[in-house]
Structure 1
């Protein structure tokens, strides 16, 4: 083959090589995992209260001004029950009774279990300063009381709860397993209203986590679809001003044109604008997080402490279509590398097809 032919072929190959930008990307949907440890003392108080059983019926709710179904814990040791219910009040049960999880597991052999403990989602909101900007892992104890027989009222209550959002009062009283309705006395606790009490029948849902003695703690989602939803939520919560400035700037169409990605999501351009501003703030005015100076923990620490103000100004002058296109490229590569997909030497167009196919794209 003539030398000139080889040179021409080599030149064509060089022109087709992808232009990989320098710098670093971050996916706003790849949240940091943060541990929230819930209150354990309530469990000790309920154990020490030696709850003998539960009474069921209807009682008047001062908050609603009408009678509602009521589940009443019965004990001869009211002081410990008061301490437990005081803990529930600290969790916010007076305003939101669903801060306390209450589950009833009806067993096929006629017995049932009463589970009580902190609601994982509400505990994270209470304990963490930025619950929507992290991935909470909530741990804690559940108090479990096993009872020998299921009353007909429980079966009726289960059917009643299936009708929609139904208030149920959780209360406590002084008595023992043999006490009749006229013999029990108020325990002096602060009762609370629940709107999401759950009654699970083993014969209807044998695979329910509670029936396998698995605690209903929060779970961490890692799928590409969940990352995409979290990215949108972070933009909405932490960057509302940037979001609207990008929407009304015409930059989304400009970036699509530059990258030749007609289906590039608006949120991907918004994320790039957020990352350009964070890099500028963290890296002394430099863009694209040069030289790997910022790791994920430093990045999120900055996001958690950042405040956006709607002062009528426009996006910073450095947030150009060209800078956004480069940051979009870096961000997409970061998302794919996080799930083990190699990106070195690959073109943005090819990587974007993978990104969309995996489910990372979500507008």
Structure 2
């Protein structure tokens, strides 16, 4: 079957990541269907912001490997024991690319994200078919399209973001980065009654979308001083909650400075695995008592993410679509930042 993959073309230590890898189409066998597995004919797989980084070798993965994990599709076959969720052939579904074992220390300790046997060998979502365990599959509501359905995984990240920051009604919030996760997170904190809700984003069209989704303020970090603008907006106190969704090492250093005393600072993106950021422990942890954290995937979030699919405005995130054969063009378009989200259509006969 056709799979969109990261292919190594150069030295992974080259400073120019565009010379490290490229996007190509390779042929891969479909995983065998186990007794508890579900085979999907993939409709759409959205490009995650991490996917181009994976192609560029930022996280150190060894190419070639399949890409994509934000998937929707239609069930075409069920293992004989895949019966616990009442799924059936023809169901429109989406799901979690990670299969957790359920039995290791972390799964039993309420820390599923650290599962010692988490399996993502079936990760290549940008493919014609995919085989997932029944536990990974969620039936889509009738009024949610397959295009919208492939955003279940990003919405699960927004749910996880809310779990981590526990926003308070009326709290001042800034989100750094107006990509899909930033825009979904912004919609979520708006539902929690966020005030002085601010987006920091260099692309004008994404700032406009943030305003559309409920942001009170939009800062251009290229032409404006984030610290000065933030203090102006918050009367010199900073934000009760600051979340980085940019993944940019240029954006993260200033964020402790604009987090209010006693506030929460969440680094909610993927960063180069060798990046280290200076951080004044005396000032930010001792004097200001900041709570600083991050998150890794979205444990226990998918049932709630399904509930939120109809609550989010996804129209602007489902308009730019490329066929699987044009994946290289799709990734080039992704890197321009022109589109808030790009979908890969993996089977032309599915809508």
What range is the shorter-chain TM-score in? Answer: under 0.3
Normalising by structure 1, report the TM-score: 0.23
Q: Which has the higher contact order (CA 8 A, sep 6+)?
A: 1
Higher percent of residues as strand: 2
Larger radius of gyration: 1
